[in-house]
């Protein structure tokens, strides 16, 4: 319904007639509104920019000066009445909506959805990491973690890498700007998990048997190398630990992860072990018969290992006259590739669901 603007000769009477009309109708109009949108529209018809009461207010200027004050009070009183009724109706509408919601057919949030949500699963790297932890926990090893942003001292120096040693060329290192509070610190992204060996030996006393798995970084990329990859590191330190323990533990590890297969140890070099060995196992693709993966040898390289160098013990405050130990490490993408028959390491990090869904 529209409010009519009256044309009367006496401006005070015109105003009063408009106010009376608004007053007579607004309550019923608000009451007829059943939702907030309709109520706001009804309110705008009275108090909006072109609303009836707004128009009446504009007429005030036409009143004789002595009538303006009293007329202003009448307009304001009506305005307050309209606003109060509007607020009250607004709340009543909100209450009614809430009641309707509460009284509606109960909605059971715990019911399963009609379309089953596809279930995710662990990434092959995580699967192998968990398998590795299970094997070593079964052999009595504790699990430890180390930082990925590391000091050169813990990544190289304490492990006996002399500065500018050719062994460092194999670790194409990403260097990181030092923090402002230590501008001379030599900071890097760890190139291997052997930093965990250093940190654990610096903070704990033997006997120690620890395994760690985590991301490492080298400036390297091709079919079998990525700038970020994962390594496993393990070590054992106690009195009388020998190469026999190294061979026993690593043979058990290979057999528990891959099933019974041949394991062989070849001499090798790492600056932080003496003697050092490379550990190979019978190829999982051809069962030792010789294939493309094992380059016809029947063996694939699976671990680097060795007896911990006395210099490393000295750097970490462990008496090399009393204690001996062995350490081992490997990239874990390699075991994952062998275990699941994955041909290209880069597939692991492309996050293509067609690949990931196969595990
Ligand atoms: C090491 O990093 C030694 N810390 C391992 C070790 C620990 C030896 C304890 C003895 C005792 P190496 O640089 O060879 O060794 O790296 C070990 C493995 O990490 C490699 O055989 C490879 O499997 C993996 N790896 C290294 N760089 C990359 C890369 N860019 N992408 C993927 N895997 C890599």
> Which H helix or E strand runs over 217?
strand 208-217
* 331 alpha carbon – ligand 1 mean position (Å): 5
Q: What distance lies between CA 183 and its chain's CA centroid?
A: 30
What residues of the chain score a pLDDT lower than 70?
A: 1-9, 167
The reply to whether ligand 1 has any atom less than 6 angstroms from the CB of 333 is: yes
User: How many degrees, rounded to 5, is the angle at CA 273 between CA 272 and CA 276?
Assistant: 135
Please check whether residue 302 is in contact with residue 282, taking contact to mean a CB–CB distance below 8 angstroms. Answer: no
Confidence at residue 2, expressed as pLDDT on a 0 to 100 scale? 62
Compute how many other C-beta atoms are within 10 angstroms of the C-beta atom of residue 214: 19
pLDDT tens for 97-115 read 999 888 888 778 888 888 8
Confidence at residue 224, expressed as pLDDT on a 0 to 100 scale? 73
Confidence at residue 1, expressed as pLDDT on a 0 to 100 scale? 54
Testing ligand 1's pocket by substitution, the residue of 155, 188, 221, 231 carrying the most ligand atoms inside 8 A of its CB is 231
Nearest CA to ligand 1 atom 5: 329
Helices (H), 119-277: 124-138, 152-155, 194-203, 243-258
Please, how many CA atoms are within 13 Å of residue 296, restricted to the half-sphere of its CB?
0
Testing ligand 1's pocket by substitution, the residue of 195, 270, 271 carrying the most ligand atoms inside 8 A of its CB is 270
Nearest CA to ligand 1 atom 17: 330
CA distance 86 to 43: 7
Phi, psi of 212 (to 5 degrees): -145, 145
Question: At the fourth CATH level, which superfamily is domain 124-356?
Answer: Bira Bifunctional Protein; Domain 2 (3.30.930.10)
Confidence at residue 86, expressed as pLDDT on a 0 to 100 scale? 96
Nearest CA to ligand 1 atom 20: 331
Atom of ligand 1 at shortest range from CA of 227: 30
Confidence at residue 58, expressed as pLDDT on a 0 to 100 scale? 84
CA dihedral 51, 54, 56, 58 (to 10 degrees): -130
Could you tell me the CA-to-CA distances from 141 to 27, 62, 134, 249, 250 in Å, in that order? 80, 95, 10, 11, 13
* 170 alpha carbon – ligand 1 mean position (Å): 9
pLDDT tens for 301-324 read 999 999 999 999 999 999 999 999
Contacts of 274 (CB under 8 A, 6+ apart): 306, 307, 309, 310
């Amino acid at each position: 319904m529209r409010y009519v603007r009256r044309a009367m000769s006496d401006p005070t009477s015109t105003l009063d007639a408009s106010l009376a009309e608004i007053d007579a109708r607004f309550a019923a109009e608000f009451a007829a509104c059943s939702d907030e949108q309709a109520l706001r529209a009804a309110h705008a018809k009275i108090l909006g920019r072109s609303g009836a009461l707004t128009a009446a207010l504009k007429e005030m200027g036409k009143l004789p000066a002595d009538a303006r004050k009293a007329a202003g009070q009448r307009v304001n009183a009506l305005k307050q009445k309209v606003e109060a009724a509007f607020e009250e109706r607004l709340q009543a509408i909100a209450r009614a909506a809430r009641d309707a919601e509460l009284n509606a057919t109960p909605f059971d949030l715990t019911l399963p959805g009609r379309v089953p949500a596809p279930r995710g699963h662990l990434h092959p790297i995580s699967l192998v990491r968990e398998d590795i932890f299970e094997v070593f926990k079964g052999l009595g090893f504790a699990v430890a973690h180390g930082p990925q942003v590391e000091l050169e001292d813990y990544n190289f120096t304490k492990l006996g890498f002399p500065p500018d040693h050719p062994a460092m060329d194999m670790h194409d290192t990403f260097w990181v700007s030092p923090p402002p509070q230590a501008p001379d610190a030599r900071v890097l992204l760890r190139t291997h998990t052997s930093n965990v060996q250093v940190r654990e030996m610096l903070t704990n006393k033997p006997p120690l048997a620890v395994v760690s798995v985590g991301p490492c970084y080298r400036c390297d990329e091709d079919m079998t190398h990525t700038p970020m990859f994962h390594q496993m590191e393990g070590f054992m330190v106690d009195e009388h630990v020998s190469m026999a323990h190294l061979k026993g533990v690593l043979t058990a590890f290979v057999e528990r992860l891959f099933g019974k297969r041949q394991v062989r140890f070849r001499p090798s070099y790492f600056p932080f072990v003496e003697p050092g060995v490379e550990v190979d196992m019978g190829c999982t693709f051809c069962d030792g018969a010789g294939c493309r993966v094992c380059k016809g040898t029947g063996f694939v390289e699976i671990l680097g290992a060795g007896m911990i160098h006395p210099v490393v013990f000295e750097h970490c405050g462990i008496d090399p006259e009393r204690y001996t130990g062995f350490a081992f490490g490997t990239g874990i993408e390699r075991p994952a590739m062998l275990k699941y028959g994955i041909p290209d390491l880069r597939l692991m990090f492309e996050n293509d669901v067609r690949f990931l869904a196969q595990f």
